[in-house]
Chain A
């Protein structure tokens, strides 16, 4: 199996966990110091690389803050997690996986994701993005150390963005 295949397999497993709403299972594959950022998209004529803000964030989470998220979905709280109960139907389609070696044995991986998102009987909405990740190998498996999500939309049209993209 190539490194790219290994990373892609890990991404497919991740997508299964997220789409089946197994956030606790997903938390086991991120590292303790995992950081998740969705910078605010910015459009600037004449600036092909400046597509997302350096300072503004639509979403910023860590392993610690996502544990809070998982607690929100726990039986004693989930009744009042109205935006996530009933659960949103999501499906992550992950493609264009590319891997490069990073410092100290880390892997820098990029991938494209198409997220379908549908609440109750509404029409589904689509969102695409690029993911820029850092992965480490802990000896037995790959783990996600950092993720930066670059959205392909500037005004978010999903019902909310409380979803790991």
Chain B
């Protein structure tokens, strides 16, 4: 493909169809394991725009259930996070455990029919599975397991999020804001597009924040995986062939290398920036900055984030941003890494506001039928042939190489979207 109609990106009809045919049938990110570390801990989230509780049960299992009482729909949990062993509905006192099972109904024997069975009135549950610490859930009872859904992308999630021996942890709850654009435009801009770096983010280069310390040549590798997922790594080529993790504490490099196979360590080492997207809307970025406003911080300084773009309407998207650090990194480094991301890719940073301005302008400029008749073009890199397996060090997926990441990921994304929208109900 080479383009999509703006109408198919921004119309109300497309939005409704996508929520139904894509979001209710995909594995969607609900949170990181470290957000519910112990039995009884929970957070509230949305799954395909419907409110859920994401909890760790008494037995240590991850659970995702609809945050609405089985009796008459009252919202059970009205907090962002907490610890509980029970959830008691404020309306009639129906009480559930962390698995969503109905434990108690006040007056059950007195007021309810004799054949009333608690076992029949548990909360509606989503399936929940984890890969590399990332918890996904789906409403689709017939979807394949998560690993099959991710396919080749498990290699990349493992490479990024299994390399720290003590795992990764979130710092704080997610940052949340509204992006005044369609979710696909947000995902394209953040998770897939790199050509805008020297233009939209020109100020970051001029200010010495990002990309200014690299005098060595860069090579960009874009990977398209089946299922609409993609990832790209912009590498600083080292003539020595040494594999490093610029911006991460040096004491972690040996464990990173030990926990990665050869292909994985090639892909996630020596990166200026590695970013991508799990179809449909979970983007990630692992990068380093040269300077973000703290002369006492290390330089380079690496940071990692996950970003969920939830479609709240055809032209609004709720963004959640999780900041992740290796659990065994030094405490000071963790704080500095967090601050570097807040000052760049957070909604008050030097990158994100320009992205927000850009994507809001796309929604605002293309609201009418004349504009929606136009196309969005995805032409860059269409003449590139995939590189061979050797040059790609055996990493899975279709791999392209260029001096700048071009647009094969976007084409893969929209091809998958089209497949989902035209598949039988």
Contacts and interface: CB of A to CB of B under 8 A. Distances in A.
A55 B382 CA distance: 44
Given A58-B348, A60-B343, A81 B203 contact: yes
Contacts of B343: 60-61, 65
A120 to B, nearest CB: 9
Contact of A82 (B292, B294, B357): B357
Contacts, number: 134
B382 to A, nearest CB: 28
A157 interface: yes
B60 to A, nearest CB: 23
Contacts of A76: 206
Contacts of B176: 40, 154-156
B396 interface: no
A88 to B, nearest CB: 10
Interface residues of A, number: 43
Interface in A150-165: 154-163
B82 A58 contact: no
Given A71-B207, A83-B356, A59 B177 contact: no
Contacts of B347: 58, 156, 160-162
Central interface residue in A54, A62, A158, by most chain B CB within 10 Å: A158
A20 interface: no
Interface stretch (A9-17, A41-49, A89-97, A102-110): A41-49
A160 B348 CA distance: 6
Contacts of A53: 172-173
B342 A162 contact: no
Interface in B327-367: 338-339, 342-343, 346-350, 352-354, 356-358, 360, 364
A64 B172 CA distance: 24
A-B CB proximity, top 3 nearest: A56-B172, A65-B293, A83-B353
Interface of B: 77-82, 171-178, 180, 199-203, 206-207, 209, 291-295, 318, 323, 338-339, 342-343, 346-350, 352-354, 356-358, 360, 364
Given A40-B174, A59-B348, 7 more contacts: A45-B77, A45-B79, A57-B338, A60-B343, A83-B353, A159-B357, A161-B346
Interface of A: 38, 40, 42-45, 53-62, 64-69, 71-72, 76-77, 80-84, 119, 122, 154-163
21 contacts: A38-B348, A42-B81, A42-B173, A44-B80, A45-B78, A53-B173, A56-B172, A56-B175, A57-B175, A58-B348, A65-B294, A68-B350, A69-B350, A72-B207, A77-B203, A156-B178, A158-B177, A159-B357, A160-B347, A160-B357, A163-B348
